[in-house]
Amino acid sequence: MANNEVKIDVAKLTAKDFQSDQDVRWCPGCGDYSILAQVQRVFPDMGKKKEDIVWISGIGCSSRFPYYMDTYGFHGIHGRAPAIATGLKVAHPNLSVWVATGDGDLMSIGGNHFIHACRKNIDLKIILFNNRIYGLTKGQYSPTSEKGKVTKSTPFGSVDYPFNPPSLALGAEATFVARSIDREPKHMQEMIKRAAEHKGIAFLEVFQNCNIFNDGAYAPLTDKDVKLDNVIVLEHGQPMVFGKEKNKGIKLDGFSPVVVDLNDGKHSINDLWVHDEKDENPIRAFILAHLTDSTDLPTPIGVFRQVIKETYDDGVENQIKAVTQKKGKGTLHQLLYNANTWEVE
Amino acid sequence: MAQVNGKEVKSLSEVTVRFAGDSGDGMQLTGSQFSDTTALVGNDLSTLPDYPAEIRAPAGTLYGVSGFQLHFSSNDIHTPGDTPDVLVAMNPAALKINLKDLKQGGVVIVNEDSFDSKNLKMAGYSVNPLDDESLTGYKVHQVPITTLTQTALKESKLGTKEVQRCKNFFALGMMYWMFSRPIEPTLEWIESKFKGNEDLIWANQKALKSGYYFGEQTEIFTTRFTVDPAKLPKGTYRNVSGNEAIALGFVAAAELSNLPLFLGSYPITPASDILHYLSKYKNYGVKTFQAEDEIAGIASAIGAAFGGSLAITTTSGPGVALKTEAMGLAVMTELPLVIINIQRGGPSTGLPTKTEQADLFQAIYGRNGEAPIPVIATSTPSDCFYLSIEAAKIALKYMTPVMLLSDGYIANGSEPWKLPNVDELETFHKEFRTEVENFNSYDRDENLARPWAVPGTPGLEHRIGGLEKHHITGNVSYDPDNHDFMVRLRAQKVAEIVKDVPDLEVRGDQEGELLVLGWGGTYGAITEAVDRILANGMNVSQAHLKYLNPFPKNLGDVLSRFKTILIPELNLGQLATVIRATYLREVVSLTKIKGLPFKSMEVESKISEILGGSNGK
């Protein structure tokens, strides 16, 4: 019943309905514009009423996102968006709660909240705007910057290793892990839809170009001439084929992924690794996440893994129901007087 | 003097007992059972648990000694007692640590079995104090508690270690006999505590009964005592600790405001019990979220407040330090939230299990920017119930975070509480904004509170956050004049809460030589000190602050009516500093930072000194 009502209601919504009255203040050419546009394009079809959607963010360029969405929004403090979102979702479980965050916000100062939101499988949708740089503080290296990165705070190159966000999410037991790219609008829309449909924590990393402080960070993945050789699009149940001519594939040699040439006469499509995003065993998803460790292997985009288990917020509701059924709804009088009491005459 | 079974029965008006032993000896349990039973027989009581931060410090060590002091009386009392009349020492270390506090001529009951060479050495005794002159002047009863427990439980299926662990119930049984308390409440408690483990139930119950009968039969004890029920006001009573009263207060506040209660919290001593209590109240719809850290504790509560819950977060000083940035966010977003600080010894990790009042500056000032929040402080365990409701009321009415201060002494201490009639508790329903027309997220009502528009409400979609807000519209604003205006507006909103703050009441003469001004957990010690000064025919007045920001509007006037103001505090004079700064008047500061509450004698002695009396006693 309620679902039908919702659908009739939201059929009228368009992308424009999700645009707030605030001027968008990102730098011209920023990849964030694309993420905003794809979200606004997808949201009318989500089957959710505008008032039931909340965007929560931390601090950074990406975290201005809630101001531009005409939904409920909360621009929080640095790193804490998943924790604020968790409280809101647990208190008010029928809301659709989204987190807009960046690589500094989520992977550095907010790392603890991120892994615990994943572990608890709280029904949140987290979009990581990963530009591998601190933009709002004007160009320091971030926890996803490649080793050796020269920035204002690392004039001789950074000496630390970056996080691999999908690997971190998988390690923290996230039930939905996906990646897209700012320059692939259709693919990103698909990923946003998939995240929205997932019941449980959904983590979507979006490679996003910062044209001011880290321009071209993803050029090999976005330049028309080379991207098809450098990106592999993950599709559930499909063999892992890529390349301009669709002539390359990935084969699993034990736990090692290797690129094979489908035209060399030695390999056929039947030899290739068939992607199974529902695999209960997370090992292959980890291998996928680590394809980026080698320059010989393509970078995957798409859904790495999706598994279903009870969410934290449902667990809380179910426990309250079960205890209330057993004990009966408490009253103020019981609260105070159901104890060892005595009378003074 | 009455005689029962050939033993004297002496009636006393008040007694202070201290149980002391290893931290693994179950002294806290023994003490709290004695308290609960003592409450049930109708005495007024006050307790002071005092235990080390280590859970099971090595047995026999001085630093592993855990104590529980209990003062009970047929009169109205306010403190756990300055000096115990009776000390139960389970081992030499417990005797060594606690003997100096015992009243001259007091009763010492020792577990003789534990006075072996190993334990004596660990306690630093070169000679057994039971054999030399050390205990001269005390009434010493040596009882082989371990052996007697083992004998009583020889049929038990439990192992030797487990049998020995029942000795605290034997000791409790003895004390029940000595002070004429019934053993049934504890028998029932054992039954429910160890439900499903018949062997443990049998052994602990048997140990308790054996201790009781031992008291009756042994010739060691010649005297038994009774303490008549206190002449308390008519009503239904229960015993309550400060932390339990806070939990009950917020469940009640949620019912009274018709809002769901959300607690976001991270375990920390001495606040964790509030989380434990609240997590039991699922059938009241209470949601407790044990967060990954202190910051997530408050951040989740802020999220829940945005979503329309009565949201709270519980912690102690180090946790408040971590929550500070988020408290600023709650100030900026003007969401209702209560931050509960059960103060402990600081700085840093400090003295986790000991009490202190040194977080007052942190509560009033401890945030970046101009970030005023209301601060209120509880003064006794049962007071925690009412001030929790008060904190919730202020938070909702004024759309502001509120700091509720308690301390380890109030939190773990307990007292009989005359239960309120629930129908007489005032409701305070808060309306969410639902009307779409003319909605502005930073509009103001007559209390300067902004509207609470909760996600899920059609047509009120809006954005809030930590950036400065434009007056009325709530849009981000960097306008200098707007910022100046908003900073003053937030300050004014908190200052105007004074209209709901009751005038400070002065006990005794309304003007005169000396006013003792207190706040928080020093209430009992100050009250008892003032009682004694008055009984000695000297004149002093007393006032106790519950509202520390804003102060009651008559405070300045009250201060001006006394020649001297004495402020006793368990810190280096924080309230004294605030009073000096606010009212530009000198005060006398009495400070103590030992992780322990004031003894009433310490306050009394200072009052006497100021009044030019006999310098106390």
A9 pLDDT higher than 80: no
A339 is a domain residue: no
Query: What residues of chain B, 67 to 86, have a C-beta less than 8 Å from chain A?
Result: none
Query: What residues of chain A, 40 to 59, have a C-beta less than 8 Å from chain B?
Result: 49-52, 54, 56-57
Q: B553-607 pLDDT, tens per residue?
A: 999 999 999 999 999 999 999 999 999 999 999 999 999 999 999 999 999 999 9
3-state secondary structure B29-82: HHHHHHHHHHHHCCCEEEEEEECCCCCCCCCCCCCCEEEEEEEEECCCCCCCCC
pLDDT of residue B5: 65
* Averaged confidence pLDDT in chain B: 95
Taking CA atoms, what residue in A is nearest to B238? A341
pLDDT band at B2 (very low <50, low <70, confident <90, very high): low
Residue B296 touches chain A, beta carbons under 8 Å: yes
Query: Which of A22, A327, A332 faces B255 most closely, judged by CB atoms?
Result: A332
CATH number for the domain spanning A49: value is 3.40.50.970
Query: What residues of chain A, 61 to 120, have a C-beta less than 8 Å from chain B?
Result: 66-67, 70-77, 80, 83-92, 94-95, 112-113, 115-116
A135 is a domain residue: yes
pLDDT band at A5 (very low <50, low <70, confident <90, very high): very low
A103 pLDDT higher than 80: yes
Q: Tell me whether strands B139-143 and B541-545 are parallel, antiparallel or unpaired.
A: unpaired
A181 pLDDT higher than 80: yes
Backbone angles phi, psi at B378, to 5 degrees: -80, 155
More confident: B98 or A4:
B98
Query: Which of A87, A320, A344 faces B285 most closely, judged by CB atoms?
Result: A320
**Rounded mean pLDDT, B365-387:** 98
A1 pLDDT higher than 70: no
A111 pLDDT higher than 70: yes
* Maximum CA extent, chain A: 100
pLDDT of residue A6: 46
Q: Å from B116 to nearest chain A CA?
A: 40
Q: Tell me whether strands A248-253 and A256-261 are parallel, antiparallel or unpaired.
A: antiparallel
Query: Which of B234, B422, B457 faces A336 most closely, judged by CB atoms?
Result: B422
Q: Which two tokens stand for residue A256?
A: 């090692």
Residue B611 exposed, middle or buried by CB count within 10 Å (0-12, 13-18, 19+): middle
Preceding peptide of B270 cis, ω within 30°: yes
**Rounded mean pLDDT, B408-434:** 96
A132 is a domain residue: yes
Q: A26-78 pLDDT, tens per residue?
A: 999 999 999 999 999 999 999 999 999 999 999 999 999 999 999 999 999 99
Kindly list the residues from chain A whose CB atom is less than 8 angstroms away from the CB atom of residue B464: 73-75
Q: How far apart are CA B6 and CA B222, in angstroms?
A: 8
Is B59 within 8 Å of B212 (Cβ atoms)?
no
Report how far apart, in Å, the C-alpha atoms of A273 and of each of A262, B240, B296 are: 13, 65, 41
Q: Which two tokens stand for residue A191?
A: 């990923």
Q: How far apart are CA B248 and CA B385, in angstroms?
A: 6
Give the up-direction half-sphere exposure of residue B372: CA atoms within 13 A in the CB hemisphere: 17
Q: How far apart are CA A65 and CA A32, in angstroms?
A: 8
Domain residues for A137?
Answer: 2-227+299-317
Among A271, A270, A277, A195, which residue's Cα sits nearest to residue A233? A277
A7 pLDDT higher than 80: no
Q: B98-151 pLDDT, tens per residue?
A: 999 999 999 999 999 999 999 999 999 999 999 998 899 999 999 999 999 999
Q: Å from A161 to nearest chain B CA?
A: 25
Q: B239-278 pLDDT, tens per residue?
A: 999 999 999 999 999 999 999 999 999 999 999 999 999 9
**Rounded mean pLDDT, B353-369:** 97
What's at B79, amino acid-wise?
T
A271 is a domain residue: no
Q: Which two tokens stand for residue B33?
A: 């059972």
A286 is a domain residue: no
Q: Tell me whether strands A124-130 and A96-102 are parallel, antiparallel or unpaired.
A: parallel
CATH T-level fold of B238-424: Rossmann fold (3.40.50)
A282 pLDDT higher than 90: yes
CATH T-level fold of B2-227: Pyruvate-ferredoxin Oxidoreductase; domain 3 (3.40.920)
Residue A341 touches chain B, beta carbons under 8 Å: yes
**DSSP readout, B312-357?**
EEEE-HHHHHHHHHHHHHHHHHT--EEEEEEE-B-STT-BTTS---
Quickly list H helices, chain A.
2-10, 32-42, 65-68, 81-91, 103-104, 111-120, 165-171, 185-197, 219-222, 224-230, 283-289, 312-327, 332-337
Q: Which two tokens stand for residue B163?
A: 């049998």
Q: Å from A134 to nearest chain B CA?
A: 19
**Rounded mean pLDDT, A97-118:** 98
The domain limits of chain B are 2-227, 238-424, 512-610
A48 is a domain residue: yes
Tell me if B462 and A343 make a contact (CB, 8 A cut-off): no
Q: How many domains does chain A have?
A: 1
Tell me if B232 and A344 make a contact (CB, 8 A cut-off): yes
Q: B385-401 pLDDT, tens per residue?
A: 999 999 999 999 999 99
pLDDT band at B4 (very low <50, low <70, confident <90, very high): low
Q: Å from A129 to nearest chain B CA?
A: 19
B1 pLDDT higher than 70: no
Indicate if B512-610 has the same CATH topology as B238-424: yes
> What residue has token string 């090595």?
B58
CATH T-level fold of B512-610: Rossmann fold (3.40.50)
Preceding peptide of B347 cis, ω within 30°: yes
Among A133, A285, A151, A154, which residue's Cα sits nearest to residue A208? A133
A342 is a domain residue: no
pLDDT of residue B452: 98
A11 pLDDT higher than 80: no
Q: B502-542 pLDDT, tens per residue?
A: 999 999 999 999 999 999 999 999 999 999 999 999 999 99
Preceding peptide of A239 cis, ω within 30°: no
A3 pLDDT higher than 80: no
A326 is a domain residue: no
A-B contacts at Cβ under 8 angstroms: 208
Report how far apart, in Å, the C-alpha atoms of B218 and of each of B5, B6, B17, B68, B178 are: 11, 11, 21, 26, 12
**Rounded mean pLDDT, A113-135:** 98
Residue B513 exposed, middle or buried by CB count within 10 Å (0-12, 13-18, 19+): middle
Query: Which of A72, A328, A342 faces B455 most closely, judged by CB atoms?
Result: A72
